[in-house]
Amino acid sequence: MQNSDMMKRPLIEVSLGGTPAEKYPSQFTLATRMGFHATEARLLYPSDSATGIPGDEITVSLVSDGESDLYFSGVVYSAATYGKFRELLLADSYKKLCETTFAAAYRKENASSILDDILSTAGIGGRSVTCPDVKLARFSTRTIPARLCIDLLVDALKEHGKEGLVWFFDEKDTFHFGALADTGKNEGETEQFETGKNITRAGSGWIETLPRPIRHSREITVNGKTLLTIRTDLKVSRSKSRLVLYPLETAL
């Protein structure tokens, strides 16, 4: 039998342009993957709701036991009504890197300066960056989306022996760039999960628990063993709330 802690359901708290949304959503889903730049986030409202229009700034938090945890920051990417629901697809600042074009033409320039130019052009604010101290003899591209420029920069750094570099945005919409040993991971305390206590279900390579503010590349412990999340799938609704974590053994 599940204990009382396992049965508690969090409340979804949505803010649009800094103002709490008038209507309560029917569902919130969030999926993150290690190695993927984009985060998949979606809100469902009743079809008669007019909540959210494309371009609205949005934050989504979950409230449980009087404590509020931030899960997503970004903008409403699209809004459409399908049957009984109004669906809001959400996007973080990865959207800016897709919509901004950039043409690189550098000679004997530090990789960190190139990355800074790309991010500044795209209007990326918050950053947590650890860029290798490498001067590139040449780095040039045609006019392409800024996100591809960053990928090409990562490839150029690989040629200089700098492996394991990743980039993504976190729940605060902060841009991360680096390796797992530094800023190439999501930050947070190591949370502990135990069978019969806060693990509701488990299978080969995954565990299910109640919602927690955990994304990919977070260290957790499962029955005393330290693991690293490589994928997370969150679903919060009126009828069921759960977080599925896909961890692997960490070398950190």
CA torsion 124→129→134→138, rounded to 10°?
A: -20
pLDDT tens over the chain, length 252 residues:
344 444 467 999 999 999 999 899 999 999 999 999 999 999 999 999 999 999 999 999 999 888 999 999 999 999 999 999 999 999 999 999 999 999 999 999 999 999 999 999 999 999 999 999 999 999 999 999 999 999 999 999 999 999 999 999 999 999 999 999 999 999 999 999 999 999 999 999 999 999 999 999 999 999 999 999 999 999 999 888 999 999 987 544
Which pLDDT score is estimated for 251?
Answer: 47
Q: Which CATH architecture has domain 98-178?
A: 3-Layer(bab) Sandwich (3.55)
Which pLDDT score is estimated for 8?
Answer: 65
- Other C-beta atoms lying within 10 Å of the C-beta of residue 103: 11
Which pLDDT score is estimated for 3?
Answer: 44
Cα 38 to chain centroid distance, Å, stands at: 7
Which pLDDT score is estimated for 66?
Answer: 86
- The amino acid sitting at 217 is S
Q: Which residues contact 69 (CB under 8 A, 6 or more apart)?
A: 61, 62, 63, 212, 213
User: Do residues 58 and 74 make contact, with C-beta atoms less than 8 angstroms apart?
Assistant: yes
Phi-psi bin for 100: left (phi > 0), alpha (psi -120 to 50), beta?
beta
**Tens of pLDDT, residues 170-194:** 999 999 999 999 999 999 999 999 9
Which pLDDT score is estimated for 249?
Answer: 74
For the chain, domain boundaries: 98-178
